[in-house]
Structure 1
Amino acid sequence: MTQYDIQTRKGLPQEMQALLTVLPRDGWRDHPNFARSIQNWMGAHQMFRGLTGQIRQDSEDFLEQKQEDQTYAARLAHFGMLLFNNLHGHHSWEDRSFFPELEAADPRFARGLEMLESDHEALDGHLDQFRRTGNRLVQLATLDPTQMKDEAGQMLDTVTTIDGFLERHLTDEEDLAVPILLHHALRG
């Protein structure tokens, strides 16, 4: 099995772009098989991108003393929980239901779907670090707000890593899955 490192890959490997070449991204929304379910799935991806961006911005604002410690902790607890829970749920559903459906429809892309599943496993490690750092930050807001700055710096590093990881992964996921969905008229 070929390993595809998400940290170094720059888009889908060439062998996984057969349908993307025929069904490029700029034509998806106008395609007759572009269903509401595809739009909703991609909307979830936009939500994840937005949440990581919000957490990153809040962390920067806190570190630049543009946000109070209690406000930062409350926003981190809210947006962090949304990101963590929804991302885990989304990827679990993809691994158990969505990817097997896509593989059954077009087995040529089994290795690409396997690559995306391995991304999910790698992302779990980043999310675990995010959860631990976020929990410490929220607790420090009550126990000792003077220590929050160091943890906020670590949170900024962690969420920046997740943001870059997610951008690559979600783009690859869309570039592989949407052409399969359109080509085979799935989820319509």
Structure 2
Amino acid sequence: MLDTYTMRQEELPVEMRFLLKKYPRETWDVHPGFREKTKHWLGAHQMFRRVAERIRLDTEGLLNKDMALDDFAQRLSYYGGNLVGNLHGHHGWEDHSYFPELSAADPRFDAGLEVLEQDHVDLDKVLDGFTRTANRAIKLATLDPVQAYDEAAQVLTTSETIEGFLKRHLSDEEELVVPIILHHRLRG
């Protein structure tokens, strides 16, 4: 059975990205308030994008017969576990530590925060479906290779969903959060 997911397609409204014009993305790394903690947070986002892409590319490689099923299963186990575990940890930290700090510094953050927190809830559902599908594909790699390829097709669909979700969510999150950090000189 295929799970269906509702992903937010539109970017955050302009009024929620209230400091982005004052602190455009292309100036962040030269701003004196752009510190290591913010670089690490953005680096985690880049890692999530790369790992999600790697999973999709590996799955395409399997389905195109460019990768052996055993190699795919090992890589899916490693990269899938990495992506799911780290995203859950990252979002938990944001929800319980990082976002409350930003909210206290600038209450205008709260409108965007509601959208980001709903994204986290929605992404949890997608990651749960991905985990179930990936685990089935990994098990079937040794039990029934023909069914493993069928399950890998579902892994591909779900990995594309994750990639699209992360593209929208992480970009919006960055464009809301980093300007607040720079404006209020947080995370120093």
Please name the residue that 1:65 is paired with.
65
Shift of 1:8: 2.5
Report runs of 4+ in structure 1 exceeding 6 Å deviation: none
Shift of 1:105: 0.2
What CA deviation, in whole Å up to 9, does each residue of 1:126-179 have, x standing for no partner?
A: 000100000001101111112111111100000000100111000000000000
- Which range is displaced more, 108-117 or 60-69? 108-117
Distance of 2:86 and 2:78 partners within structure 1: 12
Query: Quick check: 1:12–1:175 contact (8 Å CA) kept in 2?
Result: no
What value does the CA root-mean-square deviation take over the aligned residues? 0.9
Q: Does 1:155 align with 2:158?
A: no
Distance of 2:25 and 2:116 partners within structure 1: 18
Query: Quick check: 2:9–2:168 contact (8 Å CA) kept in 1?
Result: no
Please name the residue that 1:132 is paired with.
132
> Residue 99 and residue 55 in structure 1: after superposition, are their counterparts in 2 closer, same or farther (change >3 A)?
same
Shift of 1:80: 0.2
Superposition pairs of residues 95-106 of structure 1, within 5 angstroms = 95-106=95-106
Query: In structure 2, what residue type is equivalent to 1:7?
Result: R
Distance of 1:118 and 1:30 partners within structure 2: 32
Shift of 1:75: 0.2
Please name the residue that 1:167 is paired with.
167
Shift of 1:6: 4.5
Q: TM-score, normalised by structure 2?
A: 0.95
Query: In structure 2, what residue type is equivalent to 1:178?
Result: V
Q: Does 1:121 align with 2:99?
A: no
Query: In structure 2, what residue type is equivalent to 1:156?
Result: L
Distance of 1:160 and 1:36 partners within structure 2: 31
Distance of 1:6 and 1:102 partners within structure 2: 25
What CA deviation, in whole Å up to 9, does each residue of 1:8-55 have, x standing for no partner?
A: 31x221111221111000000000000000000000000000000000
Please name the residue that 2:3 is paired with.
none
Q: Does 1:78 align with 2:94?
A: no
SS class of match (1:12): coil
- Structure 2 unaligned residues grouped into runs of 5+: 1-5
Distance of 1:32 and 1:24 partners within structure 2: 14
Aligned-pair identity in percent equals 55
> Residue 41 and residue 159 in structure 1: after superposition, are their counterparts in 2 closer, same or farther (change >3 A)?
same
Please name the residue that 1:111 is paired with.
111
- Structure 1 unaligned residues grouped into runs of 5+: none
Q: TM-score, normalised by structure 1?
A: 0.95
Please name the residue that 1:48 is paired with.
48
Please name the residue that 1:181 is paired with.
181
